[in-house]
């Protein structure tokens, strides 16, 4: 489990909420108080909810599931890319394209188009067309990369979303809920925590705070991936041992069969002789034959 302390959260300024005029009443359970018109987040609740969210994504990673990082605001962009790449997860950092989840087939076709242009460039096809055509293709490629680079390796729906600022990423939240994809998210005092499955009450505007939270999330995922690797290795060893034991047992049975065959070869089969009739029996036989001859005469 990742190490999380209230002291760290204080240093990162994660307790600062929004002004009272922007406050969402559904955040009341996570509020410590109000100072100079600004709501203060209860960091004890933040620690509790952050641990829950980290445990959730760790368990998913341990099962080999994919978690999509989402954070398109300027303060979160670089941190989202860095954290997602660190644990080999997909991300959306520049813009959430409408239908990224609910119109997945269309998004996949655009990723296919990006790969097609890249293949044309690698194959040397650009040298066979005009400069204007090359320029148009490069512009299209850059636009597609800008929007799709983080999800180009995602072959199916993610198993969960990890969001920074659910108010800004309302479309992502809406699409995920429509498809029953669970959401873990950083939720500030101007947002509705009931929109997500694992809300983490914290400031979602400070760069330092965002970096800190994403670091904890990526560490949790890496722990889950490590557990998965260890479990896979243990399973591999178990299967290997079982296979070896099975082969050894089969070899022993084969050896026993061979030994039995050899034993049969070594013991000679002696034909049984017909026992000679006893003298008394022979005399009786002769006597019967003599009587028979007399009768015939």
Chain segment 222-245, per-residue pLDDT in tens: 999 999 999 888 888 888 888 888
pLDDT band at 211 (very low <50, low <70, confident <90, very high): very high
Token code pair at residue 230: 């260890």
User: How far is C-alpha 148 from the chain's CA centre?
Assistant: 22
Two structure tokens written together for 154: 């995602």
Asked whether the whole model's pTM tops 0.85, one would answer no
CATH 3.40.50.10490 location in the chain: 7-101+158-232
User: For residue 260, what pLDDT is reported?
Assistant: 77
Rounded CA gap, 247 and 107, in Å? Answer: 50
Kindly state the tokens that stand for 238. 């178990």
Asked if 61 and 224 count as a contact pair (C-beta separation under 8 A), the reply is yes
What's the CATH number for 106-156?
A: 1.10.287
Specify whether domain 7-101+158-232 bears CATH 3.40.630.30. no
State how far Cα 158 lies from the chain centre. 10
For 19-27, what is the mean pLDDT? 94
Contact yes or no for 136/159 (Cβ under 8 A): no
Residues of the chain with CATH 1.10.287: 106-156
Confidence band, pLDDT 50/70/90 cuts, at residue 2: confident
Helix H segments across 22-86? 43-62, 74-86
């Amino acid at each position: 489990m990742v190490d999380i302390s209230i002291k760290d959260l204080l240093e990162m300024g994660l307790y600062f909420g929004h002004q009272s005029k922007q406050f969402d009443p559904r955040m009341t359970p996570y509020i410590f108080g109000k100072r100079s018109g600004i709501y203060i987040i209860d960091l004890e609740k933040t620690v509790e909810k952050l641990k829950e969210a980290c445990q959730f994504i760790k368990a998913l990673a341990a099962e080999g599931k994919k978690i999509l990082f989402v954070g398109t605001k300027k303060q979160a962009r670089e941190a989202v890319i860095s954290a997602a790449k660190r644990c080999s997860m997909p991300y959306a950092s520049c813009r959430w394209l409408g239908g990224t989840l609910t119109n997945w087939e269309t998004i996949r076709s655009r990723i296919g188009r990006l790969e097609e242009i890249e293949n044309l460039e690698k194959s040397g096809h650009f040298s066979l067309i005009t400069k204007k055509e090359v320029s148009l293709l490069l512009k299209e490629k850059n636009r597609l990369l800008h929007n799709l680079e983080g999800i180009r390796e995602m072959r199916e729906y993610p198993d969960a979303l990890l969001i920074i600022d659910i108010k800004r990423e309302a479309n992502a939240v809406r699409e995920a809920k429509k498809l029953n994809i669970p959401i873990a998210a950083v939720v500030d005092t101007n947002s509705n925590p009931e929109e997500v499955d694992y809300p983490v009450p914290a400031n979602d505007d400070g760069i330092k705070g965002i970096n800190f939270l994403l670091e904890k999330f990526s560490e949790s995922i890496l722990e889950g991936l490590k557990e998965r690797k260890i479990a896979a290795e243990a399973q591999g060893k178990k299967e290997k041992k079982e296979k070896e034991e099975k082969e050894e047992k089969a070899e022993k049975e084969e050896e026993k069969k061979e030994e039995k065959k050899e034993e049969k070869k070594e013991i000679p089969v002696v034909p049984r002789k017909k026992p000679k009739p006893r003298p008394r029996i022979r005399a009786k036989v002769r006597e019967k034959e003599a009587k028979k001859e007399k009768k015939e005469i």
